[in-house]
Amino acid sequence: SQQGEEDPQALSIQEGENATMNCSYKTSINNLQWYRQNSGRGLVHLILIRSNEREKHSGRLRVTLDTSKKSSSLLITASRAADTASYFCATAPYSGAGSYQLTFGKGTKLSVIP
């Protein structure tokens, strides 16, 4: 079953604008991660936020996590055409058998127009 659900499914912005995408999940997590997938390629790990963290930054990326709402957001500032890709959130369950298995959402397709 899908744990993470991204919103929106697709997003189109102008170069230089900020892009925000959201992820909701259902069960307790150990951490939440964001991955990027360029067309025809595999997924690449972007950033991880742990369940006891509320915000994390990496370059132009800012991730927030609200465990009370079971949601996360990924903000890409000053977007570039090269940011055009699909973005997936993935959750790692808090504990239990198979707790090392990640569950991926359906993704947000971001288009950055030059």
Partner 1 sequence: NAGVTQTPKFRVLKTGQSMTLLCAQDMNHEYMYWYRQDPGMGLRLIHYSVGEGTTAKGEVPDGYNVSRLKKQNFLLGLESAAPSQTSVYFCASSTPGTAREKLFFGSGTQLSVL
Positions touching partner 1 (CB under 8 A) are 1-2, 4, 30-31, 33, 35, 40-45, 48, 88, 90, 92, 98-107
Of the two residues 15 and 73, which places its CB atom closer to partner 1 in the complex?
A: 73
Q: State the virtual CA torsion across 52, 35, 74, 33 in degrees, nearest 10.
A: -10
Nearer to partner 1, 72 or 103 (CB): 103
Q: From the CB of residue 106, how many other CB atoms can be counted at a distance below 10 Å? A: 14
Which CB atom, from 19 or from 49, has the smaller least distance to partner 1?
A: 49
Q: How far is the CB of 48 from partner 1 (least distance, A)?
A: 6
Q: How far apart are CA 23 and CA 107, in angstroms?
A: 9
Name residue 52's amino acid: N
Please report how close the Cβ of residue 106 comes to partner 1 at its closest, in angstroms: 4
Shortest CB 14 distance to partner 1, Å: 26
